[in-house]
């Protein structure tokens, strides 16, 4: 089984992203079904669970806290601050006073006295990163969090933050069709001893073969506004997706398994947190921990899916301006 370190904590290389149990992909499952999935994930060996104050505007932290309370001492719990729901709207706010309030709210919802890994969900560019990380460091000193993480930041911002307090993990979208991390931050994480946590490792369902063309998705699904899922980009991306599906068939695995297996070869500091509302998909994903790809297959994948071939930005313009990750020219 692939195992990786987040700070000084060793966990399986696949965790669970909990967002879509409450948020972002249309109608979420009912709490009973979501609780059952979380607990089944634990039974399957998942130990790293990832949530955030933003997801469901607190509802996901509440769900995760209640469902996993019986296993709290056996799991590595991650959450995020700096992007929350205020008056029904998503707000980025990295001021120290806001972050200090958010951690107390999160601890109450999660029914715990500490969070193992606490991320700054987005860098609030109106606040120096040093100030936001300074607030997170005070949470460490108070025993409220075990380690600090950053999400969607560039290598230069990571270095500035790391100079204030060691950064245990960086979480950024990374998959076969989102390779921005390879520009700089992936290697910078390795250099600084930080874990790299890949969210959306299945391309928000696209790499798993899900039907996710924008105009066919349910209202409330964030992919409806993402350029990659809109015409003509969606159809152009489907050209190489057919070849990817054929390669998965040759490897006698699912498309999701092939995408995840590739990701776990990107470095011994790389972990992934695929999310799902399906117990069946969860079980299939976890089987990747027992699978290795040959060098020939890896070369074939890299030849098949390259950044210039990916059509469409991963976020709409307004959202793209909020993140700090490097972009291919």
215: its two tokens: 């105009």
Q: How many CB atoms lie within 10 A of CB 104?
A: 11
Kindly state the DSSP code that residue 218 receives in the 8-state scheme: P
- Rounded to whole angstroms, the maximal C-alpha distance in the chain is 54
Asked if 147 and 140 count as a contact pair (C-beta separation under 8 A), the reply is yes
Q: Which residues are within 8 A (CB) of 41 and not within 5 positions of it... i.e. 6 or more apart?
A: 16, 49, 282
- Picking from 167, 126, 152, the residue whose alpha carbon sits closest to that of residue 325 is 152
100: its two tokens: 């200090």
21: its two tokens: 């149990």
Q: Which residues are within 8 A (CB) of 173 and not within 5 positions of it... i.e. 6 or more apart?
A: 152, 180, 198, 199, 200, 314
Catalytic, 174? Answer no
280: its two tokens: 């069946």
Q: Which of 55, 118, 119, 315 is catalytic?
A: 55
Asked if 279 and 14 count as a contact pair (C-beta separation under 8 A), the reply is no
What's the rounded Cα separation, in Å, for the pair 36 and 303? 40
Q: Is 87 left (phi over 0), alpha (psi -120 to 50) or beta?
A: left
Q: Do β-strands 76-81 and 117-120 pair in parallel, antiparallel, or remain unpaired? A: parallel
Residues recognised as catalytic: 55
């Amino acid at each position: 089984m692939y195992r990786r370190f987040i700070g000084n904590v060793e966990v399986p290389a696949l965790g669970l992203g909990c967002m879509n149990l409450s948020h972002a992909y249309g109608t979420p499952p009912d709490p009973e079904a979501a609780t059952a999935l979380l607990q089944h994930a634990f039974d399957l060996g998942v130990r790293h669970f990832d949530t955030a104050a933003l997801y469901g505007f607190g509802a996901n932290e509440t769900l995760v806290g209640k469902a996993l309370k019986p296993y709290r001492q056996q799991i590595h719990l991650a959450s995020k601050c700096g992007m929350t729901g205020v008056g029904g709207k998503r707000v980025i706010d990295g001021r120290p006073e806001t972050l200090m309030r958010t951690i107390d709210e999160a601890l109450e919802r999660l029914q715990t006295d500490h969070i193992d890994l606490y991320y700054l969900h987005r860098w609030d560019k109106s606040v120096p990163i040093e100030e936001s990380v300074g607030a997170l460091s005070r949470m460490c000193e108070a025993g409220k969090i075990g380690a600090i993480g950053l999400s969607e930041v560039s290598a230069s911002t990571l270095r500035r933050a790391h100079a204030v307090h060691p950064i245990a993990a960086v979480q950024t979208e990374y998959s076969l069709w989102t390779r921005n991390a390879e520009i700089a931050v992936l290697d910078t994480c390795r250099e600084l001893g930080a874990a790299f946590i890949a969210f959306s490792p299945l391309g928000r369902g696209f790499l798993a073969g899900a039907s996710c063309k924008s105009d066919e998705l349910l209202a409330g699904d964030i992919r409806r506004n993402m350029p990659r899922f809109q015409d003509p980009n969606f159809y152009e991306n489907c050209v190489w997706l057919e070849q990817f599906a054929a390669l998965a068939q040759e490897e006698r695995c699912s498309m999701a398994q092939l995408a995840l297996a590739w990701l776990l070869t990107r470095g011994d500091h790389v972990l992934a947190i695929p999310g799902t509302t399906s117990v069946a998909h969860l079980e299939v994903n976890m089987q990747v921990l027992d699978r290795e790809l040959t060098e020939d297959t890896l070369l074939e994948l890299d030849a098949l899916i390259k950044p210039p071939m990916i059509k469409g930005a991963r976020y709409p313009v307004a959202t793209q301006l909020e993140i700090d990750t490097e972009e291919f020219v």
